[in-house]
Amino acid sequence: MTVVDELAKVRVRPLPRHVALIMDGNGRWAQARGLPRLEGHRQGVRAAERLVRFVAAERLVPCLSLFAFSTENWNRPRDEIENLFALLERFVHEREREFVEQGVRLEVLGATEALPPSLARAIRDVEEHTREGKVLHLVVGINFGGRWSVVEGARRAAALAREGKLDPGALDEASFARLLPTAGFADPDLIVRTGEEKRISNFYLWEAAYAELYFTPTLWPDFDEVALLDALRDYQGRRRRFGRVET
């Protein structure tokens, strides 16, 4: 089955507005081939580049999230963290022109103040230069965690309450959601995790309340366009009731 054939199938039914990808399996991909973990991460970046290019070119979904570096990833060896940051900085720099040409708007989500200064600067620059992109909103989580996001929302609510700009008693789910760092885009309809593990590992938590979850044993560097289309077709076969009873 070709990509063209798969595309034709997914286009006949409604597609999600927001797909979030937990990109797992780079290290295992490298280990299985007797390669250093860094090579697995390099191939993982290339897989991400291919999919972003594909989603934008085909206008599959308006929003795509990539979970690149979690708040827990600081527990990895220092040299691996430094290599990951170098790869992310290169990704941001090298893709800027292509993002602009394809209408991709980059938004990096997370505590970027803790990142290396050169990476933080690169992020700010590319976010600014791509802010007019209308084809695809690309959200990349770097030093991001779902718990961090909820705590950030709580801090903002507390600050507004101290300033007399928020009545805590009037705070509801909708108004709290507007205080979260994720308020600028729709909640994910579909969360895909590669690499066989069946958990969301502190990615979107509040936002995942009604997301469909899709787990695949495919390791991230091998997750290609057809694999993404398979996930979309699986999503299209589900019934999303949001707590309602079908009549």
Looking at the domain assignment, is residue 166 inside a domain? no
Alpha carbon distance 112, 98 (integer Å): 23
Name the domain count of the chain.
1
Query: What is the pLDDT at residue 245?
Result: 58
Domain encompassing residue 80: 17-147+201-236
Q: What is the pLDDT of residue 240?
A: 75
* pLDDT tens track for 70-112: 999 999 999 999 999 999 999 999 999 999 999 999 999 999 9
Residue 224 lies in a domain: yes
Predicted local distance difference test score (pLDDT) of residue 110: 98
Is 63 among the domain residues? yes
pLDDT of residue 246: 62
Q: Is residue 114 part of a domain?
A: yes
Residue 212: closest CA among 190, 241, 229, 186: 190
Q: Is 70 a known ligand-binding residue? A: yes
DSSP 112: G
Q: pLDDT tens for residues 50-71?
A: 999 999 999 999 999 999 999 9
pLDDT score recorded for residue 14:
94
b/e sequence 211-242, b meaning 16+ C-beta within 10 Å? bbebbbebbbbbbebebbbbbbeebbeeeeee
Is 103 labelled as part of a ligand binding site? no
Q: Is position 89 within any domain?
A: yes
Question: Within 10 Å of residue 119's Cβ, how many Cβ atoms?
Answer: 21
Q: Is 200 annotated as a binding residue?
A: yes
Instruction: Using CB atoms within 10 Å of the CB of residue 38, give its burial: 0 to 12 exposed, 13 to 18 middle, 19+ buried.
Output: middle
Residue 140 in any domain: the answer is yes
Q: Is 37 annotated as a binding residue?
A: yes
| H or E element in which residue 212 lies | strand 212-215
From residue 223, alpha-carbon distances to 48, 102, 218, 242 in Å are 9, 22, 6, 29
**In the prediction, which pLDDT does 2 show?**
83
Q: Which residues of the chain have pLDDT under 70?
A: 1, 242-247
Instruction: Confirm or deny that 26 is annotated as ligand binding.
Output: yes
Report, as residue numbers or ranges, the catalytic residues. 24, 73
**Does the annotation flag 18 for ligand binding?**
no
Ranges of H-type helices in 130-224: 146-162, 173-177
Residue 5 has a pLDDT of 86
Q: Does a structural domain hold residue 243?
A: no
The pair of three-digit structure tokens given for residue 86, joined into one six-digit string: 């170098």
Q: Which helix (DSSP H) or strand (DSSP E) does residue 104 occupy?
A: strand 104-109
Bridge pairing between strands 18-22 and 212-215: unpaired
* Residue 148 marked in a binding site: no
233 is in an annotated binding site: no
CA distance 229 to 187: 20
In a domain, 226, yes or no: yes
The CATH number assigned to the domain holding 65 equals 3.40.1180.10
